Amino acid sequence: MSASYPVVDIHTHMYPPSYIKLLASRTTVPYIYQPTESDSPDTPDPRLIILASDDDPSRPKALRGRPVDSTYSSFDQKRAFMKRHGISCSVISLANPWLDFLDPDSALTTAQEINNDLDSASAESNAAPSNSGLKLYAFGCLPLSAPAKDIVSEIHRLTTLKHVKGVIMGTTGLGKGLDDPNLDEVYSALASTATLVFLHPHYGLPDSAFGGPEVVARSGHVLPLALGFPLETTIAVSRMYLAGVFDRHPKLQFLLAHSGGTIPFLAGRIESCVAHEREFIANGGSKQGPQRSIWDVLHSNIYLDAVIYGQPGLKAAIEAAGSVDRVMFGTDHPFFPPLGNEKDSKWLSVESNKGAIDGCLPQEEAKRKILGGNAVRVLGLDL
């Protein structure tokens, strides 16, 4: 709690009231279902149904998806969580699936409303003396289903919101992935405004990649969350790299969730497969391969969070990032809460990430950078 240096959580989600309202107004995925008295006399928490696979028609709606309690939307609870874990600043972001699903017509105004909400809620929270110096900032969201000019205009407008320090984005882009050439205009705007993109998974892998839905169902959410999420990020970033996005936009700045999926571990293999690919022009083929080394991209265009729950992964992340200056602490709050009655104690999910940082960084200076110093520097936080 009383660290003498800032501890900044750059991976921490919220559904602000305007987003909860939006999901609650919908009846198709993603949506929030509010159980009625006829579902249960106990008026349990609303259910958050964000994936097609959550919306299993054989289950009552009151049991689909996951409970969305007030930790998703309450700034008080966010601050209580921060206090309990010694976090001095949270850069909050909308949880998935952001605005990927919106009608093109309403996407821009919805994005503006939510981004304004995140900015003003952060401003209010920071101004309140009762909040004992805890600071909030936010990653904004983009209206990716809207026409490109609207996306670009929101990127520019976000630079005027004082508490918005970048944007969060999923892996679908405009619907065809992050290697879609139609994103070039968006990438140009992100690069020219020096907007950091926090890249986060949502869609995972198709069930068939795991052996089918029966295989997945055997272990609850473990396969989609433990593997599907990081492998989605791995594929998305690899596609960007292979398609030359970082060649065309050498100033893009991405922060990858979950320490980059598995990119730090696989970067060497990707590099080797590129060097040995017969179809790339460099080897006499007809296809254009990436022009820059993946290590150069990792060292110049990519930051990694430290949400990796163990030392082997964290060390690889730091090593692949090229320096402790490119890795940043995060919690993934409010996901992975304690499941027992220990709600007032420290969260295992947070402590295992903090423990990995403590364990593999004996140097106090390096630890401070990852726990907060890097976020302050990269995002320009006023703490």
Ranges within 172-211 binding its own copies (CB under 8 A): 176-177, 179, 205-206, 208-211
Q: Examine residue 143 and tell whether it contacts its own copies (CB under 8 A).
A: no
284 interacts with its own copies by CB under 8 A: yes
- The answer to whether 63 contacts its own copies (rule: CB under 8 A) is no
Residue 278 engages its own copies in binding (rule: CB under 8 A): yes
268 makes contact with its own copies (CB under 8 A): yes
User: Secondary structure of the chain: what % helix, strand, coil (to 5)?
Assistant: 45, 15, 40
Least separation in angstroms between CB 113 and its own copies: 31
Spatial contact of 75 and 12, defined as CB atoms under 8 Å apart: no
Tell me how far apart the terminal alpha carbons of the chain are, to the nearest angstrom.
16
| Shortest reach from residue 265's CB to its own copies, in Å | 4
Chain residues 211-230 in contact with its own copies, contact rule CB under 8 A: 211, 215, 218-223, 225-227, 230
Q: Is 270 in the site for its own copies (CB under 8 A)?
A: yes
State the number of binding residues for its own copies (CB under 8 A). Answer: 72
Q: Which stretch binds its own copies (CB under 8 A): 7-15, 33-41, 105-113, 256-264?
A: 256-264
User: Residue 251 has which token pair?
Assistant: 């100033």
Q: Which is nearer to its own copies, 29 or 231 (CB)?
A: 231
* 51 CB-near residues (< 8 Å, 6+ apart): 29, 30, 65, 203, 204
Alpha-helical regions (H) of the chain: 17-24, 75-84, 104-127, 148-158, 184-192, 207-210, 213-217, 222, 229-242, 245-248, 263-275, 294-300, 311-321, 348-360, 364-368, 374-379
CA distance 178 to 170: 9
* 3-class state of residue 218 by DSSP: coil
Query: Does residue 274 bind its own copies (CB under 8 A)?
Result: yes
> In terms of Cα–Cα distance, which of 143, 149, 205 is closest to 174?
143
Judged by DSSP in three states, 191 sits in helix
Residue 234 within binding range of its own copies, rule CB under 8 A: yes
- The least CB distance from residue 26 to its own copies, in Å, is 25
| Nearest CB to its own copies, comparing residues 75 and 265 | 265
Asked if 53 interacts with its own copies (CB under 8 A), we say: no
SS3 category, 320 = helix
Rounded CA-CA distance 186/202 in Å is 20
Nearer to its own copies by Cβ, of 254 and 309: the residue is 309
What mask, x for binding its own copies by CB under 8 A, covers residues 21 to 40?
--------------------
Please tell me whether residue 362 binds its own copies under the rule CB under 8 A: no
